[in-house]
Amino acid sequence: MIAVTEKLAWYVSRASGVVAWAMVAASIIWGITLSSRLLKRRGIPAWLLDLHRYLAALAVVFSVVHLIGLVFDNFVYYGWKELFIPMATDWKPGPTAWGIVAFYVLLAIEITSLLMRKMPRKYWHAVHLTAYPLFVMGTVHGFQAGTDRSNKVLQWTALAIIELVVGLTLFRALTFTPRKRKAKAADQAAAVPAGATH
């Protein structure tokens, strides 16, 4: 019982870091699914969009829990500087820096998503696309700094998730239709009389 208590912060930090990464991945997967032709755009229930936002919010929450766990873990000292300034720690400074930058990107995405209706869509969209580098940085951080990187279950699960993200991203890129082209196609379809044939 004492050993568990002494290592509780370490377990919390490890688990919350993995869950935060999984929530980022799930949010990206769901976001791609919603924005691609995998689902019909018309009639998408609001709760499906809310799920995408909820997954991203969970990623922020578990990232914060991850940071708190690091503060209370006595194995490596983490103060404000070590938590929020890249390369400030002596313990695996490179891999840790990936995680710090990923956290800032995650916050930027979440904040701009909350302010989406109050800012130009092109700026919101540009920030939103940084979810892809965020996923890469989080993955690098997890496998270089994480102590669970040798866990075979985690390795295979992560590989499956990475392949899913890459596959959906390629599908989205290959089926992407710019907004102007979509609007033009819609106008042309509206101009054709009902029942007309080619």
3-state secondary structure 82-113: HHHCCCCCCCCHHHHHHHHHHHHHHHHHHHHH
Domain assignment present for 83? yes
Mean pLDDT of 179-187: 51
Domain assignment present for 135? yes
Domain assignment present for 197? no
Domain assignment present for 66? yes
Which among 4, 10, 19, 7 is positioned nearest to 142, based on CA atoms? 19
Taken in order 105, 139, 50, 15, the sign of the CA dihedral is negative
**Dist. CA 145–CA 56, nearest whole Å:** 22
Domain assignment present for 157? yes
Provide the residue type at 26 as one letter: A
Percentage of the chain modeled with pLDDT above 70: 82
> Which residue range(s) make up the domain with 82?
2-191
Domain assignment present for 196? no
**Dist. CA 16–CA 61, nearest whole Å:** 9
Record the pTM.
0.82
* Overall number of domains in the chain: 1
Domain assignment present for 77? yes
Total number of residues shown for the chain = 198
187, two tokens: 């106008």
Q: 177 vs 41, which has greater pLDDT?
A: 177
Domain assignment present for 198? no
**Dist. CA 190–CA 99, nearest whole Å:** 49
Task: Read off the pLDDT of residues 43-55 as tens digits, 9 standing for 90 and up.
Answer: 666 777 789 889 9
